[in-house]
Amino acid sequence: MVNQQFSKSIATLPLLILFVLGALLAIATELPYGGWIQIPILALVWWRLDLNHSRNIQSHFVAGLVFGIGYFVIGLWWLYISLHDVGGMHPLLSCAAVLLLSAYMALYFSIATLSISLFKKTRVTGLLLGASWVVMEFLRGYIFTGFPWMGLAESQINGPFAPIAPLFGGLACTFLVTWISWELTQLKKRTAFSVAVIICAIGIVQMTGFMSFTKPFGEPISVRLIQGNFEQTLKFNPQAIGQQIDFYTSEIKKESADLIIIPETAFPWPQNNLPAGLLNNLQDFSNASSSNILLGLIGEVSSNNGMQYSNRASGLSPNVPAYQYDKAHLVPFGEFIPPGFHWFIKAFNVPLSDFARGSLEQEPFSIVRKNQASVRAAMTICYEDVFGGELAARIQHSKEPVNLLINMTNLAWFGQSQAPTQQLRLSQLRSLETGLPALRATNTGITSVLGPDGKLLQSLPEFTQASLSTQVQAYAGKTPYVIWGNFPILSISCLLLIWGLIRQRRF
């Protein structure tokens, strides 16, 4: 009996190691050089999984799943705050929801790692692993509307492979991280070859960083980003709603600027029910001060079931019709209810959780300026900036050139967690992919200005009520990624996997 228990303990030890490695990988992404640190950690994961190559596929699948769960539980724990602290869901149900989502996300990691055992070990195993990872990451961002949060790519903002993003996007960063981390595990077997591969890959990618695809456009624009720092629990309190509307209205009128932005749902009330004359009053201010204003509010659109709410950015510009952008990529359970899950929303107890979906082909917002060409900004609301391919396609197919990215966000749902820094890295990756500067207006943080290379130029401290006033240089042009999207890296990955399967059958 004792021997059986000891054997079970030994059998579960490798799974525990993989869980810890997954957790360490998630923690590493938050560190200053996280993009570098994640590579040796991944190498340890591949080494651990490779030791199990003689075991059956089911065992290997479980091992990859445990690694993924460790990674996502640590990386997405902040969802518990929105479910329990804000939504009022029972603690056990909130924990279960985070664990189930983490397990679902981990499935993609687990399937990708199967390439280690499915393909015979050769010098191209790392390439096949990278290709598998790219395909599964793409699917993770597509199936069931997608949730590609906490990918490997955004950590490369602080790593060696970020410069490849303007050429082939974040998935190319993922490919390189996976491939090179595998080569680290092969240093003992074929030292010269693996060292050459690692040095050449990092060196070539770093040299691409000297390439520039966009250039400054016109004179810098003056910008004001207003951070209200209102708790999420106040968003549905009628008295607090009035205070928020008064605060943002007063802050907007304090000082003119070419562009003034308040956060997502900063006016947390349906547009038609806002105080009488409020929008007209702000339009008058826009006309008089030559300020362009972007307001985060609740829109209303007609649908087959009558009127439906939308998560909207409403733009006011001097002496031109109002602009509106309705969020297109909605958050499952937070902004729309998947079929068969209305019971979950009732347990979550949050109003306005079934929004109308905006079109993916909405035009950019034009920032009107006196005696100068307008600057056009591609809009995203909240986690829409996770979907780099969608944003690139919108910029590529826009009737007018896009010069700037704007993201309006409210992360008060997630309290004092790493969610704001995670989304900041995603925004940085989007700027790098498109070669365009970005403005982030948030409720609790991180309100910031990003350069066309993804670098953080200015920001406000989190959980403070403040305004960021600055000058921002718009840019013109398109990166190869904007033109091609994910097609090149997906094509390369699929061809590698097809070649690997053919080669496997021959030998």
Is the separation of the CB atoms in 15 and 49 below 8 Å?
Answer: no
> Helix crossing, 34-50 with 57-75: angle to 10°?
160
173 is an active site residue: no
319 phi, psi to nearest 5 deg: 60, 30
**Positions of CATH 3.60.110.10 in the chain:** 215-478
Catalytic: which of 137, 264, 335, 390?
264
pLDDT interval class at 14 (50, 70, 90): confident
- When pLDDT is averaged across residues 485-490 and rounded to a whole number, the result is 96
Is the separation of the CB atoms in 172 and 150 below 8 Å?
Answer: no
In the predicted model, is pLDDT for residue 8 greater than 80?
no
367 phi, psi to nearest 5 deg: -95, 105
Give how far Cα 41 sits from Cα of 29, 36, 184, 185, 390, Å: 11, 9, 10, 11, 30
Is the separation of the CB atoms in 315 and 325 below 8 Å?
Answer: yes
Catalytic: which of 154, 183, 382, 390?
382
Catalytic: which of 154, 173, 183, 327?
327
Outline where DSSP puts E strands in 228-305: 259-261, 267-270, 292-303
Give residue 6's pLDDT. 38
Angle at 182 between CA 180 and CA 188, to 5 degrees: 105
| Cut 0.85: pTM above it | yes
Structure tokens at 74: 């640590």
- When pLDDT is averaged across residues 50-79 and rounded to a whole number, the result is 84
Architecture of domain 215-478: 4-Layer Sandwich (3.60)
What is the rounded end-to-end Cα distance, in angstroms, of the chain?
44
* pLDDT tens-digit readout, 263-292: 999 998 888 888 889 999 999 999 999 999
* pLDDT tens-digit readout, 293-335: 999 999 988 777 667 888 999 999 999 999 999 998 887 766 6
Q: Which residues pair with 375 in a beta bridge?
A: 367
346 is an active site residue: no
Name residue 243's amino acid.
Q
121 is an active site residue: no
Would you report the helix, strand and coil content of the chain in percent, each value rounded to 5? 50, 15, 30
